[in-house]
Every structure is written in C-alpha cells, then in structure tokens.
Chains A and B, each alone.
Chain A
Amino acid sequence: MKIKSLSEASHLERRLGIGVNHSHISELLKQDTNIILSYFIPNNYSYVTNPKIAPLEHAIKIFGATKNARKIFSKQKNIDRHFLVNWWLERIHHTLYPLEERMTLFWHNHFTSSLKKISWSQLMYRQNELFRQYALGSFSDLLHSIYKDPAMLIFLDGSKNKLRTPNENFARELLELFTLGEGNYTENDVVSASRAFTGWEYNHKAMRVVFHDNWHDNGTKHFMGQTGRFDGEGIINILLQQPRTAEFITEKFWHHFVSSSKPEKKYIDYWSTLFRDSNYHIPVLLNSIIQSEPFWADENRGTLIKSPIELTMGLLRELKLDHFNAYQRLNTINKQMGQHLFYPPDVKGWRGGKKWISNETFVFRNDFVTKMEKEHSLNIYENDFISRMDDVDEIADWLLAIPANNKQIDKKELLLSLLQDPAYQLR
C-alpha cells in the first residue's frame, strides 16, 4: 500500500520513530509500505559518541585502595551514573535513526538490568551498546550474547551460579521473562537450565568474563523434553527452536507497535513464523507488522500511551528544540514520570501502557508540555514549518495520533492547546 496522507505518514513515524519529524513525514508521503522500513534503518550511519565516564581500568582501582581513595572512586561512580544517563538522552535527542534508539530501549526493557544493582556505569554502557548492536539485527544473536554480558551476569547472579551452589535467578527469568513466558515450562526446566548456565563469571579485577570448567555442571539435564549434557548455548538453542519463543517476542512487539488490545492470534502466528524462519531477524518482524492490516486499522490508531521518553524526547525532536541540552533536568523529569533510564523498576521492566498514567505522573506530564511551550516559545515559533501553519487540521494531523479531545478555544494558543490535549499523550 502507498502512504496516502500526512496523517498516515505521521502514524508510521510516531510508531517507529521518537516524535514526528515534520520534514521526514513529507519524505514518507507517497512511498510504498513494502520498502518504507529502510527509511528508518541506519545505513552507513556513523553516530559515535562516548559517555564521559571513567574508563574501567581507572574505575577498578577502587579495589585495594585506601579508605580515602575509595571515597573518591565512589564519588566518581556517582558522577559516572549521571553522565551515562545524560549520554543516552542526548543520543535519543539527536540521532537521525530514532528506530535504532527505540529498539535499544526496548531490549533494555526486555533483558533488564539496573544500575542500582550493577553500580558500574562502564558495564551498563557496554550492555547498552550490545543492545544497540543487535537492535535491528537478530534476536537469536542477542540472546546468545546476553547471558555472557557482564552487567547481566551481575544483575541476575550468573556469576554466583556454580556447580555445587546453583543460583536459579537467571535461568528463571530467562524462561519467564526473556523467552517463553510463564506457564510454558516446569520448575524442573528452571533447575536444569540453571545447571546448564553454571561456570560463567564476570571477574571485576580482570575486567572480563571468564568461564570456569570446574564451576560448570556437566551432568545430564532434562530440558523442555530433551536430554543431554547441555551448557548455556545448548539451552538457548532449544529455546530458539520453540515456536513459543518467537510468539512471546512477537506478542511484545504487538503491544509496543500495534495496539494495547489483545494480540490477534492469526497475526501473531503468521508474524512469529516469519520471524523464527528468518533466524529471528528483527527487521523481518517489523516489516511484517507495518505491512499488516492491524497496524493501519483506524481502531488501533492512538491506542498506545506515550512512555515518558517518547513524550519528552518526542516533544524536543518534534518542535526541533535542537539546542536544548539540560539533560540532567530531563532525566529528573523522566524519573518523575516513572522512567529513569538504566533503572528499570524490577526485572520485569517498565510495564508501559496505562501504567504510565497515574494521578502523579499525569500531573507531571501536563506540567512538562506546558513548561516547554512557555520556556521555548521563541525557538519553537521560529521554525519555518510551524510559523507557516495556521490550519488547525494541518497541525493536528502532524502532532496528534487521534483527533483532539478538547475544543480549541484559543486560536492564538493553538499549539499549546494541542500539546495540552489528552490526545498528545497518545501515539
């Protein structure tokens, strides 16, 4: 199908990107949906930035240091945490390929780890780059990498899972939250999987991941109906063979990209099969989704609630507030709204959907759009495309996922009243 209207283009951009870039949607117009995903996938794009955090070699000097030196290193750790979050916010703000950052955040919320437990920004940075590397790549590759990721090894006690003293934390969340979902495995499968993953350690002093043969349980395990001396790789291979794994991920994509409604089985079956057959290539799944009827259906427009990042960073990008750089303040605002990057609330991640809107967060969200419009009106209204628009419909088509809820009383304050409209909270 062809993208027939600006409103269709902005629907696509709102769902795949972060905020609706007005010039981008003009490009999308009249394109065919079967090639349109390429507009969102980086190709020869080099956006290299580094968070200003202390290198790991410096940070690990905390071990064995004197008490005063340790105090200094602790302070540095705190500073590093702020820099790390600010770094990611800045990337989300300025990237030309927001789908890549969207997917990076998606995986951060799927394979959760939190800076609260990890405390080493260098490791969370490394995990973040891992997510970025596979954001639009293969979920299979990502799964094969994540169990050996240092931050993950710490977060879910992989480093403590040893032959004589197994720790079930990682194996349980692997099955429950990362691949199959609850009810699709037995407690014995959890135990077998934990045994298979024994032996891995992130060694702080050596600054690397080590596999200890003598920590590894090489015995026979029974897992998902198969028997063998499985190690971690073996378990992951079995998990990837299960249709349920592809379905589980596909269902998550439904809730992230299509609608807050219950996923329709025939689409999940179809998309998950294509996904699994492509060796879990993420663009294949995305492509299936954006070519589908449910994605474009009227009843699914604007049915998703913007996450704090989508709301705040979306607004900055949409209104082209390119010079805004108060990332510390932005982080506080996102925290108040319930999304502190690198600090998911628990291993299940940010729940999303209606959970973003409580009495508390609703007030902060409303406050944010109002403050931004008032504080940055000079910059906003300087933008060509905004100053040229005085047609309510044109602005609403660009900015809102569904028709405005409130009647515009004040034509002068048109943009503000649309930003304050409940419809602006949706995508």
Chain B
Amino acid sequence: MNRRDFLKTLSIPAVFSLCSPHNLAYGENTVTTTAPVSTKVVKQNKLVLIELKGGNDGLNTLIPFNNQHYYNNRPKIAIKKQEVLPLDKHVGLHPSLAKLLPIWKDKQMGWIQGVGYEDSNRSHFRAIEIWDTTSVEEEAEYTGWVSQLLKNKIKGIAINTSLGPLYNAELSSLRINTPQELARLGKDIASTKTKANHASLAHILKVQNSVNQLAHSLLKKLPNVPKPKKAFPKGKFGKELETIYTLIASGLDVPAYKVSLSGFDTHVNQLPGHASRLSQLANGLAVFRENLQHIGVWDSTLVMSYSEFGRRLKENAGRGTDHGSAAPHFVMGGKVKGGLYGKYPSLRNLDKRGDLIYTVDFRDVYATVADKWWGQKDKFGKSMSFL
C-alpha cells in the first residue's frame, strides 16, 4: 500500500492529543490551536537549553577586565584587556563572542554573574546531576527540573545529547538526532498496547510507543516547515540548532529543547580550544535568533546556558584551568530584560579551595523560568528580574 493509505490505518488520535488544550504548558503567551497540522506556528513559551559540557571557564567568558587580580592569577591565559568586548566598565566578553554583541545592544541578552551553589561539587557527573535536577542528594531515579514544571505529552526534545533537565521516568521527553531521520526510520515501528511488569521491557515498550507517535506527527508536519532565512553555520552545533529551529517551526507542541556543546573541560592549553568553542556558540546562536525572529517566535523563546561548574581563578601549569565553582551564564530571547544580573564574585575573597564564591544560587535562575516563563510561582527558589 502507498504511504497515504498506510498513514490512514494508523491511530491518528496520538497526533490530535499533542495539540489539545490541557496538554499546553502553563504560560502567558499560550494559543490554543484546534487543527493538528498547521503552518501557523504555535506561540507557546519555549525554553532552549545550551549545555556547555566540561565546565565552562566563566572568568575568560565574562571577563573582569579592570581587575588586577584576574591578570595576576592568569599570567599566561588571561585575555588581553584590549581584546575584551566591554559590556560596562567592569566586565566584557571574550572576543570570540562578538556575534552576540548585537543581541546585547538590543537589550535581549542578560548575563547572570556568579551562578553556583554552596559547597559545589567538582565531579563532572555529580555536578551535572545537581544542575539537571536541583537535588544535592544522590537519588536512584531522578526528574529533571524542566520536566518537573511541565504537563505536556512531550515535555522536551534533546538533540543528539543527554536529556538532563528534560528527563523523567515516564519518558515523555525524547532524544533525537534529526527529525527527518527519525520520521523516515520510525514509520515502520508499530505502536504496542502490551503492558509489562518488567522494568527493562517496560522501558523498551514505552520508547517504542513514543517513537511511533513522534515519527507519525513529524511525517505530517515536516513538509510544511519554512526553510531558514539565514543558513545555519556548518558543523555539529549549527546542524543541531537547525534541528531545533525545524521542530519549533513545524508547530510541534513541545516547550523545551536541549542541545550541548562539548570541549569546555580545558585543563590543558585552554586558549585556542576555548576561543573556538565560544565562536561556534556565538555564531550558531546569532543565526538561530535571526531565523526565529523571521518566523515570529523570538518573543516566545528563551535561550539559556548552563554548565556543571566554572573553573579556578588561578591557572595551572598546563596553560589551562582546573575544576572550579561559580560561573556566569547568559539568557537571551525576545522578552529578556537585557543587562547584568547578580554580582561578579570577588577575586580576593575566595573559598578555602581558592575558588570563587557564588553570588546567585542557580536555583533562583530556574525559579525565574518557572515563574515568569511558565507561570509557576515558588518553585526551586527566588524569582529574578531578567524576565
């Protein structure tokens, strides 16, 4: 039978339920759409998380270029003062982030300084779990903080990376590589109604069903997605941002996305690798913004970075830095109130390991997203004013 007939035999309700009102997340800018297939993009507040894997060196990202302690502690790897792109008279950006400056100038980018938490963990794995879940206690089965806030049928999609904050035991968040590939390969996978009293088998059946659902809804929507106005940069990060653009533009009712960029664990010879990563980050996000603006969803999109920890103030002997504590992170979006938030940690008063002391608890950043972006008050911590 041909594809159209094949699709007719499937259980179509899955596609309808993705768009029904009670599946929409809380939020101010929600629009109910009744038609499941639509070229009109669903304007619901969306979060795009950018995980900087390895522990991004905040000191060389948002640089305290007028602070002598910065240069004293980093004789070999401090960014030269004249190369820094100043945001005010105290801090500036690494030169590789130049493409983000227009967003700053448009007041749509916020930098939250000194983000961290008490007694921060320096193990990649434990630390990232803490950022993913807000839980400092190790738990057997965890729920990502984003998942905790959402009631959608599909809460989030991670592109080629771990689910992290999107993860939940009900598997209502998905990981995909590219939408086209999933749709193509997935159309042969049947949905199953069998129950399983067996954890591993149950997991497989759940995945089978969600693949089935997602593949079918993508098959329907993909042909209608407008091509990006500006071509995304070549390379993995650019391609993955393009995937997120495609999913948002297809009208899929999914409120959260995650993508990651690796290479931030700069123990050795930090300067060239870090510059290259920041470049990819800025170039990709600049194009991402332009394309989202073009289809009219920049105002309902919030991009946010995070990382398992910052790095030490003092450079090591390998022209690099070791695991540290607090670091700055950025948010950007059409509704972001641009500017600097929090306080830059003191470079003089350090903790007993010689690391920066945080000034903003990361849970307050999440609390702001929960409250101002998705309308849920008193979650995780205190709401801030960048939204």
Which A residues fall within an 8 A CB radius of B?
A: 157, 160, 162, 164-165, 167-169, 172, 176, 182-183, 187, 260-262, 302-305, 346-348, 353-354, 357-360, 362-364, 366-367, 370, 402, 405-406, 422-423, 425-426
Contact = CB atoms under 8 A, between A and B. Distances in A.
Nearest to B185: A363
B204 A182 contact: no
B196 interface: yes
Interface in B192-223: 192, 194, 196, 198-201, 203-205, 207-208, 210-211, 214
A187 B121 CA distance: 11
B176 interface: yes
Contacts of B186: 359, 363
Contacts of A176: 123
B214 A359 contact: yes
B299 interface: no
Contact of A362 (B140, B196, B207): B207
9 contacts: A354-B200, A357-B203, A358-B174, A362-B189, A402-B198, A406-B194, A422-B201, A423-B201, A426-B200
A266 to B, nearest CB: 19
A359 B182 contact: yes
Contacts of B99: none
B204 A160 contact: no
Interface in B171-197: 174-177, 182, 185-186, 188-189, 192, 194, 196
A309 B185 CA distance: 21
A405 B196 contact: yes
A157 B189 contact: no
Contact of B200 (A183, A304, A346, A370): A304
Contacts of B140: 262
Contact of A358 (B122, B175, B205): B175
A360 B182 contact: yes
B324 to A, nearest CB: 13
Contact of A164 (B203, B317, B322): B317
Contact of B268 (A157, A260, A357): A157
B75 interface: no
Contact of A160 (B124, B175, B268): B268
A-B residue pairs, 10 tightest by C-beta: A165-B317, A358-B175, A363-B185, A422-B204, A359-B174, A362-B207, A359-B211, A354-B203, A305-B200, A357-B207
Given A359-B207, A359-B214, A360-B182, A405 B189 contact: no
Which of A167, A169, A363, A364: most chain B CB closer than 10 A? A363
A422 B138 CA distance: 31
A351 to B, nearest CB: 9
Interface string B114-125: 000000001111
A366 B194 contact: no
B312 to A, nearest CB: 11
A182 B182 CA distance: 37
Nearest to B199: A260
A340 B140 CA distance: 27
Contact of A366 (B189, B192, B353): B189
A253 B122 CA distance: 27
B211 A362 contact: yes
Nearest to B159: A360
A359 B267 contact: no
A303 B316 contact: no
A147 B142 CA distance: 34
Nearest to A165: B317
A383 B168 CA distance: 44
A150 B372 CA distance: 52
Interface in B99-152: 122-126, 138, 140
A426 B123 CA distance: 32
Contacts of A162: 317
Given A160-B318, A359-B182, A422-B205, A348 B200 contact: no
A303 B198 contact: yes
B198 A167 contact: no
